[in-house]
């Protein structure tokens, strides 16, 4: 089968099947071999790997994955793409296509069946509106993950990778960095896709930490504090937390906790590292109980 990374081959397949793009599924297909190569090399796909691909489209990246991995499972929601995938992937025996919404797939079971519960690699170019729930769902459900290499909206990539003090730093940065080390691999302009999206994109790789980056006594309490801190960005941390319905500590308790951590009483959430949020959560947790 011809390389679908070449635009003329993608056009030929789309015409052969008279395919209509579905906006609701966020269908923008990659048509740039250099970007595809970059994703494959960033994901460090090796012969022994099992790869889960989310949203294969017409199978462009899937072909590249099949060439490099031991086994690939590709989960595609649009049933109109299934006969196309059967055609474009006919040369490969190491691929299974599942016609399902990824949010309904038991990925823990998949990892168990296909990879003996060993950490899997995930590669995806997804509609942007479901990127965050999918990434956080994969991390929070404790699926054994080695890395996630994913195309996201450029601004979302910047938020995932941002550190304290940056304008992009926020709850998403901390949630992602709690589980993984993010690294932006490449910016991808709209002309690398068919049809062209309205926004710029970036490939980001999230490598799961071997050991948790921090170990708060109560993970959920730490994330409640993080959310409350960034909900009211312009407020000081004390005021942000005091006004949050999710946090029950008094203003005095919060001020006392900041003092205990050696932080300025006027500090804003955006100045705190993940480690400081974990400590704050532990100190407040002790004070509230
Ligand atoms: N990977 C292909 C590529 O790079 O050319 C297609 C990318 S396109 C941006 C997103 C793909 O994800 C589409 O094929 C779409 O139908 C599929 N998709 C959208 N929502 C999905 C979901 N919830 N579960 C599985 N696939 C989904």
Low-confidence ranges of the chain (pLDDT < 50): 289
pLDDT of residue 231: 83
Q: Which residues contact 140 (CB under 8 A, 6 or more apart)?
A: none
pLDDT of residue 234: 77
Which ranges of the chain does DSSP label H, i.e. alpha helix?
A: 7-16, 33-42, 60-68, 82-88, 107-115, 131-140, 154-161, 171-179, 219-231, 237-242, 251-260, 274-288
Q: Which of 11, 13, 23, 25 to mutate to test the pocket of ligand 1 (most atoms within 8 A of CB)?
A: 25
The answer to ipTM > 0.85 is yes
Strand duo 120-125 + 145-153: pairing: parallel
pLDDT of residue 289: 44
Protein residue with its CA nearest to atom 23 in ligand 1: 101
pLDDT of residue 48: 96
Protein residue with its CA nearest to atom 10 in ligand 1: 126
- Among all chains, which residue has been given the structure tokens 């407020």? 235
pLDDT of residue 287: 57
Question: Per the confidence metrics, is the pTM higher than 0.95?
Answer: no
């Amino acid at each position: 089968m011809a390389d679908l990374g070449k635009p003329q081959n993608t056009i030929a397949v789309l015409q052969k099947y008279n395919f209509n793009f579905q906006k609701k599924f966020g269908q923008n297909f990659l048509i740039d071999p250099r970007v595809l190569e970059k994703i494959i090399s960033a994901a460090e796909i090796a012969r022994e790997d099992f790869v889960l691909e989310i949203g294969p489209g017409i199978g462009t990246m899937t072909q590249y994955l099949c060439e490099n991995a031991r086994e690939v499972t590709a989960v595609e929601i649009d049933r109109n793409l299934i006969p196309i995938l059967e055609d474009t992937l006919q040369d490969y025996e190491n691929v299974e296509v599942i016609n399902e919404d990824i949010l309904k797939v038991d990925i823990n079971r998949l990892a168990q069946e296909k990879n003996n519960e060993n950490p899997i690699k995930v590669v995806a170019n997804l509609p942007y509106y479901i990127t965050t729930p999918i990434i956080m769902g994969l991390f929070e459900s404790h699926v054994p993950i080695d890395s996630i290499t994913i195309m996201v909206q450029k601004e979302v990539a910047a938020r995932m990778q941002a550190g304290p003090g940056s304008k992009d730093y926020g709850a998403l940065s901390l949630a992602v960095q709690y589980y993984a080390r993010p690294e932006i691999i490449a910016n991808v302009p709209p002309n690398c896709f068919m049809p062209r999206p309205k926004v710029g994109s970036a490939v980001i790789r999230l490598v799961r930490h071997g050991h948790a980056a921090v170990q708060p006594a109560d993970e959920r309490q730490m994330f409640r504090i993080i959310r409350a801190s960034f909900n009211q960005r312009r407020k000081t941390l004390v005021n942000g937390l005091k006004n949050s319905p999710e946090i029950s500590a008094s203003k005095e308790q919060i001020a006392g906790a900041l003092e205990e951590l050696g932080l300025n009483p006027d500090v804003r959430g955006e100045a705190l590292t993940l480690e400081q949020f974990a400590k704050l959560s532990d100190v407040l947790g002790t004070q509230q109980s």
